[in-house]
C-alpha cells in the first residue's frame, strides 16, 4: 500500500495535469456551421465564442427569422463540437490514470 505522501503527491500531479488540460481547451478552436456554411460560429473547446460569420446573401430584412434560426443552429453545432473536443482532450489526460469506471474529471 502506498504511503499518504505518495497519494498526496499523485493527487497534486493530477491537479496540475488537470489545470494544464483545462487551459489547453481555451486554445483549441472549433467551428459550427449552419445553412450549408452560410452561417459559421468559431468557439473554443471551452465554449467561448470567438467569432461569427454570416454570408451577405442572408442579410435580407424579410428573412430575419431564417437568419436567427441559422445563427442558433450554428451556435449549437459549435457547442457540440466544443464538447467533443473537450471530452477528447480530457480523455487523453486521464487515459493513464487508474480511475474507477464511470469516474469523471474534473470532480
Q: How many domains does the chain have?
A: 1
Query: What's the pLDDT at 40?
Result: 92
- Spatial contact of 35 and 65, defined as CB atoms under 8 Å apart: no
95: its cell numbers: 487515459
Higher pLDDT, 90 or 84: 84
pTM metric for this prediction: 0.59
Residue 107 in domain: no
Query: What's the pLDDT at 36?
Result: 94
Burial class (CB in 10 A: 0-12, 13-18, 19+), 19: exposed
pLDDT tens for each residue of 16-42: 888 887 788 888 898 999 999 999 999
Measure the CA–CA gap between 97 and 77, rounded to whole angstroms: 31
What is the residue range of 31's domain?
20-89
Residue 48 in domain: yes
Residue 24 in domain: yes
Query: What's the pLDDT at 64?
Result: 86
Residue 72's CATH number: 3.30.1310.10
Residue 50 in domain: yes
Residue 29 in domain: yes
Cβ neighbors of 50 (< 8 A, separation 6 or more) are 29, 42, 43, 44
- Spatial contact of 89 and 45, defined as CB atoms under 8 Å apart: yes
Bridge partners of residue 29, in order along the sequence: 44
Amino acid at each position: 500500500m502506498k504511503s499518504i505522501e505518495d497519494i498526496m503527491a499523485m493527487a497534486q500531479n493530477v491537479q496540475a495535469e488537470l489545470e494544464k488540460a483545462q487551459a489547453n481547451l481555451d486554445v483549441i478552436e472549433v467551428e459550427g456551421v449552419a445553412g450549408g456554411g452560410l452561417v459559421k460560429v468559431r468557439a473554443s473547446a471551452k465554449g467561448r465564442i470567438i467569432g461569427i460569420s454570416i454570408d451577405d446573401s442572408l442579410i435580407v430584412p424579410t428573412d430575419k427569422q431564417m437568419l436567427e434560426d441559422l445563427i442558433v443552429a450554428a451556435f449549437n453545432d459549435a457547442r457540440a463540437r466544443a464538447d467533443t473536443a473537450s471530452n477528447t482532450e480530457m480523455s487523453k489526460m486521464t487515459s493513464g490514470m487508474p480511475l474507477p469506471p464511470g469516474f469523471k474529471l474534473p470532480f
